[in-house]
Amino acid sequence: MAFTFFNNREPRQFNYKPRFYDQKKEESTGDARRDFARNLHDEWQSKRNHTADRKHNSSLTIIFMIFFVVVLALVLWKFF
């Protein structure tokens, strides 16, 4: 084992083997891929809208709870 001050190793080789490109197969699966991407986008958009609706509903719930606590505090303060 030799002692060296610098690491002088050879660069690693990249063994890339290109695949065969079949244009007919790509065209036949292209529509299915576009449909899948479109469906995925539509699902994501609907979940996003649903989440926005839930956030809006939760803020309304908090406002009503605060209102209820204030009214309850006023009623209790008036009678006691």
Question: What DSSP line would sit under the chain, residue for residue?
Answer: ----SS--PPPPP----PPPP-HHHHHHHHHHHHHHHHHHHHHHHHHHHHHHHHHHHHHHHHHHHHHHHHHHHHHHHHH-
- pLDDT value of residue 71: 94
- Per-chain mean pLDDT for the chain: 80
Per-residue model confidence as pLDDT tens digits over 39-69? 888 888 888 877 666 666 777 888 999 999 9
The pLDDT-based confidence of 10 (bands split at 50, 70, 90) is: confident
- Phi and psi (nearest 5°) for 60? -65, -40
Nearest to 48 by CA among 63, 60, 56: 56
pTM, whole model, 2 decimals? 0.35
